[in-house]
Structure 1
């Protein structure tokens, strides 16, 4: 059945480029040489996509067909830049669109307006793929900071700012606007009409629940919005009514361009319309934003619900028995699948799309999820496997689309459990922190400068090819080591050692001690008989799989200092707080804070995970033992190691800042500049418990040479498709676009 008001005839838009002021009005109607098959409403608006019951549909081959959106989110940054700097160039978009297309996605979602070159490149790309283009889901950024700060969406200045952003976004997509220069936002002359390739509008950001709740309280008397194309349903809250107004304004502006596209607003699990009695944190289930409380009026392209749904957040995915009711195809209790089913059931009569999901390929972890679907702690193979599982579950539960987060890794991102240790905080974009999981959701890796040059495989040939000025031979002061070389990049400190005889992990242990600033452990029971005149901040232990990790001097351990000394969530013996405590502790990150009522419904314990494990293997793709998270390997007499900067106390290697022993204020730590890294390499015998060459005399570490480097402003990086790319590509091939 045709939807009422839509003519059955086909409208073939013969779209051609024009120039000159006299035809400026026509450019949005006839933008390219491609042919886009549409139908028209009774008012003459073109429609390519629409909602129909619980389906999203596309008009193709003279009929409406169910359509499942296979998409990917695209950020706006590159290493060394923040999104507001808009550094991405035409050649980047050209390359990325081709790689996305090969991946099998047919929709790219952006969160905000990009520079004109984005739309120009997309239109050019789609001219070459006219039969099966790469569609656009255009996000419109809401005044997020003002909303969170002022907690009233109806304030005139907030409405004005959001409406202005909507105007700019619609003009940018249809290529008929000049956006003035704005700090941290896109600007310029937009002439490329991407409107025929638009799949839908996606307005707003993840809503702060306190803002929503406060808006609903203070605006109880506001009349419900009834607009030309969207209106608030009788059950709508004031905030939902405000959303109806913003959606209506978007539709009105698009209608002037002669088009209609499906619209939605951003939502997430925190403000979903479901109740989660097992959620321990009240903030995460305090208020709902319900798409079913918004109605479209004479908007034949329709309205759909969109949610960001990750398998590890909020915590009810682990604790709520109401999402432990469904098994997956492997027979496992699967809270993610159960939640998807409940969410879909709530939205009867309308399509629902998951517009963010996925896991990162990072060493760091920020939240734990059922079935090992944690926020981090995965190598690229595990990332691909989990992403593929989530995609297939979204499709199986009847959703209308799945948009993976995200295309490229973004170094500037911060995570709640590492951001206090990244100092100065405005330098995050200049180095790659393996402990910050938010930086590693991409299928496209942004590798640091030497990751292409140095393959971790226990061989010296790639080191031989490094220019002499990019590596340094360090004295091998202790027995068991003949030669040691060091180098670095934006992600790691690298070490190559020629051993005095092959290393046998089942019989021996290798120790690499790192000294960056005065203080630390000068003796340790872990290093029997060793006495240093300067202490170690970090100790890398290499041996069996269980043994291999980086440890921190207990009095230096930033995790224990924050959550033990400051917040009182960890018990730390007084002797371990002293300088030269002799104790080295595993590097950990918090994954859940200790909370008590009224913030939680019941006591919520502190949780932490070890993140300093060093995996033995190789980064040589296709070789036995391959892992994107391989950190060391031994091959005969050669040892090769790479250690992430933060594991040895660095807060910003680009400016040589390391964590200080001094405490700053209660919200942050102090960082100081280091003169470089002194390293001591030791070899221990497990049978005797002795270290080679240690005789009890004091080792003059303070006189040893430091490894140092030039500070950098422009990081070196290279792109690489992760192993997760090909895994996800195969998963997409199993999902039909026409349901």
Structure 2
């Protein structure tokens, strides 16, 4: 060997040594720190276990302490994306982990396997936290759509899909998975061992009652109770409960291969609970039970617990069932939520129970009514905070082992039954924020629209001047008394700024803004007497006294009545002669007509006005802040933000509005693409009824009125702010003992 060759060999050996050492360092540095754990009889590590009806944490030196699990559910996406895209970054996760930890929560629940970045971020965050890390509960997503469609849990395809998802989840948690990235699913290289930070496994999703009932019927005589290595079904278990026992057992067996044991549970909800509800009108809401006590651990020292999603407004029996009216709420009504929790806990007196979803949304829209104002929607951030804390207190006071709030961040892609027919196309829901859809706004972190921090609704328009050039369109003197008219928009609202010739006085001269997007509509004959428009209006914004400021819809365009009236479900009475010509309040259904024999007893159709505009301030630093604020005035300036759907938009990102076409056979709407919104502004003297509007000789040509246009968008801007509920929960958590009293 030549001298040069020897030198090269030495260099290669040195470099190889450096690379090997570096690789060892990287492996070691990615491992979680030592963790105080209990050693099971088979040598497995245990950090949490169940004992009787208590959830326990191992504190070292043979000592276990009961804990109350305090946490939040964490979604898999951010605005502009659907969950299967998994867009959350390490920066997002680390920021959120710190905020959740600072709030006083001890656990995060995720519903499915996230991308590897979640697990590496959690390990990274916890690396220096010793024996006080932030834990997570790993959910395992079920093939929900297949289950609902086939109504047979034992279908081979369903079982195979579910078992593969379980294997994926266990391997992902322990950093032992490499799976191709595919659209709609998480994937990549999972190398971070997050097992030491796992608190429990949470298997499945909310079970469709008809699927459970049909599964039990199909296999009533052919499926014996499942007997597994770690978990078994009792003799009294239904076929569906045996199916669950097998899934839990498989999860346990796979985890045992990594030398760990964690408590197990499966997802359940009020619809398939173990109680009877004589006040529930819908048969399917009280059709079948799934009982966690029919499954037991046979060789799993970490234990097992029951988990329920419990909201105070759904199903309807929460406000209809008189048997729950046993605990006064202190305001002249009854706390049926607390009464329900008490009954449920009585059934599970020998095992821990956690409420792993609960809460109310801070949204303009409402979709279910709950006792004591605990509705699904219609709450400001402050009202949501108060209710969320009261629900957490109810759960704690009734002896539950944990409360995991739904949820951490707002989710734009979500849908709600009473607005989903108006959001078209449905695959663009994540591109805009419909504040009438309450499911989007459960978070204690606000994912607001792009201009939320730029335009503060406070009646002063100086912040409009700071917006980038081209983002605001302006018209001078569009009507007598209105010197300047400005419009802009973002993903949630159309913003309007008015500069008047004199100070605004709602008692003497209200303002009207007609909106026009397509041929059709009506003329506001009462609000705009003696003036003829060249075409009708779809909506009318009334700005006056607080109680009258709202968005009204043209009778010909009212798609609430079109859906629930004669040519739809026919749950609304025929309109009166006045309703046929007057602009109507903007409403949403909150309860459909229920009639025997389809239901147990009759319930009338109910709807609520949601077009009212709340005057206030959107400044989060102001003591009078309200997230529901829509408008304000100061001196001669008036500003407001109008939710897109109140102006008829089915998808503003692609300029789609609900059109005038008849409902299709499946009672769905069609849309039309428009090129903007034409505004018709005017003022009206209350005493003289004189109109100060555009046009001359009693005629208005809409083509000559201010028309606001914008371009379609495919990406979104959004803001992120902690809501009042974050700080309210932090305060409540701080009032609880670190560990439950012995």
For Structure 1 versus Structure 2, the TM-score category normalised by the shorter chain is over 0.9
Aligned position for 1:273: 274
Post-superposition shift, 1:687?
Answer: 2.3
The 8 Å contact of residues 456 and 620 in structure 1, kept in 2 or not, is answered as yes
* Counterpart secondary structure, 1:477: strand
Query: Helix, strand or coil: the match of 1:720?
Result: strand
Q: Which residue of 1 aligns with 2:639?
A: 640
Q: Is the 8 A contact 2:32 2:194 kept in 1?
A: no
Aligned equivalent of 2:561 = 560
Alpha-carbon offset, residue 480 of structure 1: 1.8
Structure 1 residue 458, shift from structure 2 partner: 1.0
Q: Distance in 1 between matches of 2:450 and 2:693?
A: 36
- Tell whether the 8 Å contact from 2:281 to 2:594 is kept in structure 1 after alignment: no
Q: Deviations over 1:425-474 (max 9, x none)?
A: 11100000010100000011111111110000111211011122100112
User: Is 2:94 the partner of 1:94?
Assistant: yes
Match in the other structure for 2:8:
none
Secondary structure in 1 matching 2:428: helix
Check conservation: 2:524, 2:583, Cα contact below 8 A: no
Contact 1:328 1:337 (8 Å CA) reproduced:
no
Q: CA deviation at 1:233?
A: 1.0
Q: Which residue of 2 aligns with 1:536?
A: 537
2:211 matched to 1:208?
no
SS of the aligned residue for 1:582 comes to coil
- Do the aligned residues in 1 keep the contact of 2:563 with 2:663 (CA within 8 Å)? no
The equivalent of 1:610 in structure 2 is: 609
1:534-591 C-alpha deviation (Å, 9 max, x unpaired): 21111111122210110000110111110113110012338679xxx53211111111
- The aligned counterpart of 2:361 is 360
Query: Which secondary structure state, in structure 2, belongs to the residue aligned with residue 157 of structure 1?
Result: helix
Matches of 1:317 and 1:242, distance apart in 2: 30
CA contact (8 A) 1:555 1:576 kept: no
Which residue pairs with 1:477 in the alignment?
Answer: 478
Superposed CA deviations along residues 620-642 of structure 1, whole A, max 9, x for unmatched, are 12435421111111100001110
**What is the CA–CA distance in structure 2 between the aligned matches of 1:541 and 1:171, rounded to whole Å?**
58
Query: CA separation in 2, counterparts of 1:472 and 1:383?
Result: 35
- After superposition, the C-alpha distances for 1:260-315 in whole angstroms (9 at most, x for unaligned) are 10000000000000000110111100000000111110111000000000000000
* Structure 1 equivalent of residue 488 of structure 2: 487
Match of 1:691 in 2: 691
| Other-structure match for 1:47 | 46
Correspondences of 1:191-590 after superposition (within 5 Å): 191-220=191-220, 221-328=222-329, 332-564=333-565, 565-573=567-575, 582-590=581-589
Whole-angstrom CA distance in 2 between matches of 1:274 and 1:625: 43
- Give secondary structure in 1 for the equivalent of 2:213: helix
Aligned counterparts of 2:30 and 2:347: Cα–Cα separation in 1: 40
Secondary structure at 2:93 match in 1: helix
> 2: CA distance between counterparts of 1:288 and 1:339?
16
Structure 1 alignment gaps of length 5 or more: 1-18
Please give the secondary structure, in 2, of the residue aligned with 1:508: coil
Offset of residue 475 of structure 1 = 4.3
Alpha-carbon separation, structure 1, partners of 2:630 and 2:287:
43
- CA–CA separation in structure 2 for the residues paired with 1:399 and 1:312: 20
Match of 2:148 in 1: 148
Q: How many residues align?
A: 715
Whether contact under 8 Å (1:525, 1:582) holds in the other structure is no
Is residue 675 of structure 1 aligned with residue 675 of structure 2? yes
Q: Separation in 1 of the partners of 2:146 and 2:582?
A: 47
Whether the 8 Å contact between 1:529 and 1:696 is mirrored in structure 2 is no
State the partner residue of 2:31.
32
SS of the residue 1:358 aligns to: coil
Q: Deviations over 1:494-518 (max 9, x none)?
A: 0111012111122332111111111
Aligned to 1:70: 70
Q: Secondary structure at the match of 1:280?
A: coil
How many Å separate the matches in 1 of 2:361 and 2:392?
15
**Deviation of residue 30 (structure 1)?**
10
Counterparts in 2 of 1:155 and 1:480: CA distance versus 1, 3 Å: same
Counterpart check, 1:122 vs 2:156:
no
TM score, norm. by length of structure 1 = 0.94
The aligned counterpart of 2:160 is: 160
Partner residue in 1 for 2:14: none
Moved more, 448-457 or 525-534: 525-534
| Cross-structure match for 1:3 | none
Q: Which moved more, 1:177-186 or 1:480-489?
A: 177-186
Measure, in 2, the Cα distance between the counterparts of 1:122 and 1:193.
Answer: 10
**Alpha-carbon distance in structure 2 between the residues aligned to 1:652 and 1:196:** 45
2:479·2:681 contact (CA, 8 Å) conserved in 1? Answer: yes
Contact 1:659–1:670 at 8 Å: present in 2 too?
yes
Which residue number in structure 2 is paired with residue 8 of structure 1?
none
Aligned position for 1:4: none
Cα distance in 1 for partners of 2:20, 2:80 equals 38
Matched residue SS, 2:684: strand
Query: Are 1:618 and 1:625, in contact at CA under 8 Å, matched by a contact in 2?
Result: yes
Give the whole-Å Cα distance in 2 for the aligned partners of 1:527 and 1:486.
22
Deviation for aligned residue 1:33? 4.6
Conserved? CA contact 1:487–1:493, under 8 Å: yes
**Alignment check: 8 A CA contact 2:618 2:626 kept:** yes
Question: Unaligned 5+ residue runs, structure 2?
Answer: 1-18
Deviation at residue 424 of structure 1 after TM alignment = 1.0
The separation in 2 between residues aligned to 1:33 and 1:367, in whole angstroms, is: 45
Structure 1 position 493, deviation (Å): 0.4
Equivalence for 1:6: none
Distance in 2, matches of 1:702 and 1:299, equals 74
CA deviation map 1:675-709 (0-9, x unaligned): 11111112122223332258861111233241100
SS in 1 for 2:35: strand
Distance 2:577 2:673 in 1: 27
Question: Matched residue of 2:650: which SS?
Answer: strand
Distance 1:68 1:162 in 2: 30
Q: Distance in 1 between matches of 2:332 and 2:611?
A: 33
Larger mean Cα displacement after TM superposition, 504-513 or 276-285: 504-513
Please give the secondary structure, in 2, of the residue aligned with 1:642: strand
Whole-Å separation in 1 of the counterparts to 2:713 and 2:582: 34
Distance 1:679 1:476 in 2: 13
1:115-173 C-alpha deviation (Å, 9 max, x unpaired): 00100000110112223111010000011111111111111111111010000000000
Q: 1:180 and 2:180 equivalent?
A: yes
Residue 619 (structure 2) aligns with: 620
Q: Is 2:594 the partner of 1:592?
A: no
Question: How many Å separate the matches in 2 of 1:20 and 1:283?
Answer: 62
Using the TM superposition, name which of 729-738 and 132-141 deviates more.
Answer: 729-738
Aligned-partner Cα distance in 1 for 2:546–2:288: 46
Contact 2:542 2:548 in 1 (8 A): yes
Aligned twin of 2:9: none
